[in-house]
A and B are shown apart, each in its own frame.
Chain A
C-alpha cells in the first residue's frame, strides 16, 4: 500500500512519513500542491493525505485538478474546522476529512478505511480459505494461528488480498509497495513472493506468467 503525504509544514510532513512507514506503508511526500499533483498523476497511490493550506497550489485546487483525471481516495488534513470548510472539502471530491490537531491512531484508522472502501471491502479482515488477513492489526493467521510476516511480505499479501481474484502486475505491485526512498535491494519482489509461499503454502499466491500475481478468491 502506497500513500502520498502532501503537507507544507516540514516537521509534520517528516513525522507523518515516518509514522506511516512504521505502519508498513510505502510513503511518498510532497511539500506543495504542485509537486503533490505531479506525483499523484504519475503514480497510483492507495490514499493521498492532503493538507489544505499550502504554497503555490493549495489543497482545494490540487484536489480539483486531480479529480479530472483520477479517483484516488483523498484524506483532507486541515486546521480549519468550520462546517462550511468540511462541506467544501467533501463536495470538492475529498473522501474524508480530518481536522488538525489529530490523533495518529485515528489517522491510521481512516487511511485503512479508505483503502478498504476503495478495494470494495467493508470488513477490516479478509478471509482467503483458511488464511485470515486482519488489516486492523496488520496480521495474517492461518487456521487460527498467527503467521509471522515481515512488513514487506504483509504489504504484498494485503494488496493482493484486497484485489483478490484479479491479476496484479509486477509494476503495479512494486509501485504500491515501494516508495521513492526504497533501495533496489529491498525491491526484489520475487524474493518476497518466495518467502510468502514458504510461510503460507505454495498455492496461496498464483503466478500468471507474463501478467503478474493473483490470489484466487
Chain B
C-alpha cells in the first residue's frame, strides 16, 4: 500500500509539474516570438518607408547612410537570376537607401537583417549579415505583411508597388534561450518532484504507522490473544476512530469467547459430575460381593443419574438448535388463557402435595405462537415458583391483555425467598445459579430459564423478572398480539 500510494503520488506530481512546465515553456516561447514579431514588424515598417523614399537611381558607392549595404556583383545577380515576368528596365537602376539611424536597428549584435528586391526580383540591398541563401519572397504580389519561417530564420516581408522588402532574424538565439529555459524548468521540476516524493514518503510513513500498528495488533489477536488491543492515540482522527471501533469489536469477540468458554466449562461440569457418580457407584458395587438390595440401589442411582444426563443433553441440544435458528416455531393462533389454565390444572396436584396454593386468574387473551413451546415455558415458570416457594406458600398465575401495550401477558408470582438484586441480570444465563451449587437433584439442569428465554425470543416476546428478597419473585412474559 505504501508503495502504491507513493507511486500514485509521484505520478500525479510528475504530471502536474510536466503540465506546468509545458505551459510555462509555451508561454515563454509565445512571448519571445511575439517580441521578435513586434521588432520585425517595426523594422519592416522602417525598411518599407526607406524603400518608398528611395530615389530610382543608384546611390554613389561607399556613400554615407549605407553602412550595412552589401552590393551584389553582376555575377551574383546573374546567379540569382531575374524573375520571369519582370522585365528588365529602369527598375534595375533602383536603389534602396537605408539611413544610418535605421541601419542602427540592423547591427550584427541585434541579429536583425534586411533585404529588398526590385519587382524583377533583383536584390537591391541587404544587410551585411543577412543569411547567404536569402531569396526573394515567393509571392511578391501580396500587399500584406507576411511571415515566413525558413529553418531557424524568421522573416517578415511586404511587397509594395516597386519592390519587396524583408526583415528577418535568426531564431537560433531565441531557441537557445528557450532551450536553456526548458532545461531550467526541467531542473527545477525534477528538484520539486524529488522533494515531493521525499515529503510524500515522510507523510505516508506517518500515515501508515498507525495502520501498521492496527494490523500488527489484529495479527496478534487473530493468533489467539484476544485480550490484545490496538493502541489509540489521543487525537481524534479517522484512524483512532477506526482503532476504537475495532477495539470495541474485539471486546465483544472476547466477551463472546469468554462466554463460550464459560458455557462449555459449565456444560462439561454438568456432564462430568453425573458421570463421576455413575463410575464411582458402579466401581464401589463391583469392589466386592453384595446382596441384591445393594445392587438394586446402585442400579437405581445409575438410572437416575443417566436420566439427569439425558435431560441435560436434550436441553443443550434444544438451546443449540435455538442458537442456530433450526428450531421451528409454529405461528398459529393460541388461546393463551386456555393454555395457561390447562398448565395450572396439570400442576395443581404437585402444588397440593407440598401444600402450596396455586391460583389462576385470567381475562381472555390470544396470541400467535407454538402452543407446545408456550406450554413448556409456563410449566417451567410454575415449576420454578413451586420449587423455590416456602412452605404453605402461594403461586399466583395471571394472564390477560396489558393495560397499556394491549399485548397478551402471563405472570407467575411466587412467595419464595426472592432473588438477590445482583443475580437478577444473570438469571436467564445458561447454567447460572444464584449460589455455586451445581448438579442439583430432581432434574434441574440450570438451563430451564435460558430455554424459556430462547422460546420467548423466538416468539418475538419478552420475559422479565422482578423480585423482592424475602417476599418473592414475579416472572412476566409478554407476547405479541395475535
Contact = CB atoms under 8 A, between A and B. Distances in A.
Given A9-B273, A9-B439, A11-B301, A19 B284 contact: yes
B269 A102 contact: no
B438 A11 contact: no
Interface in B265-297: 265, 268-270, 272-273, 275-281, 283-284, 287-288
Interface stretch (A48-56, A128-136, A209-217): A48-56
A167 B349 CA distance: 63
B164 interface: no
Given A12-B276, A100-B275, A101-B272, A19 B439 contact: no
B273 A79 contact: yes
Interface string B377-418: 000000000000000000000000000000000000000000
Interface in A76-129: 79-82, 99-105, 107
Interface in A12-54: 12, 15-16, 18-19, 22, 32, 53-54
A125 B215 CA distance: 63
Contact of A22 (B275, B281, B288, B438): B288
Interface residues on B, range: 20 to 34
Given A12-B280, A16-B280, A101 B438 contact: no
Contacts of A82: 265
Contacts of A9: 273, 277, 438-439
Nearest to A99: B272
Contacts of B272: 79, 99-101
B74 interface: no
B437 interface: yes
Interface string B426-442: 00000000011111010
A55 B437 CA distance: 4
A213 B200 CA distance: 93
A49 B130 CA distance: 124
Contacts of A56: 435
B265 A15 contact: no
Interface string B243-275: 000000000000000000000010011101101
B268 A79 contact: yes
Contacts of A15: 277, 280-281, 284, 301
A54 B275 contact: no
A105 B279 CA distance: 11
B445 interface: no
A22 B284 contact: yes
Contacts of A101: 272-273, 275-276, 278-280
A104 B438 contact: no
Interface residues on A, range: 20 to 34
A53 B284 contact: no
Nearest to A100: B276
B279 A58 contact: no
A55 B283 contact: no
A10 interface: yes
Interface string A190-210: 000000000000000000000
B268 to A, nearest CB: 7
B283 A12 contact: no
Contacts of B284: 15, 18-19, 22, 104
Interface of B: 265, 268-270, 272-273, 275-281, 283-284, 287-288, 301, 304-305, 435-439, 441
16 contacts: A11-B277, A11-B441, A12-B273, A15-B284, A15-B301, A18-B284, A58-B436, A79-B273, A79-B276, A100-B272, A101-B272, A102-B276, A102-B279, A102-B280, A104-B279, A104-B284
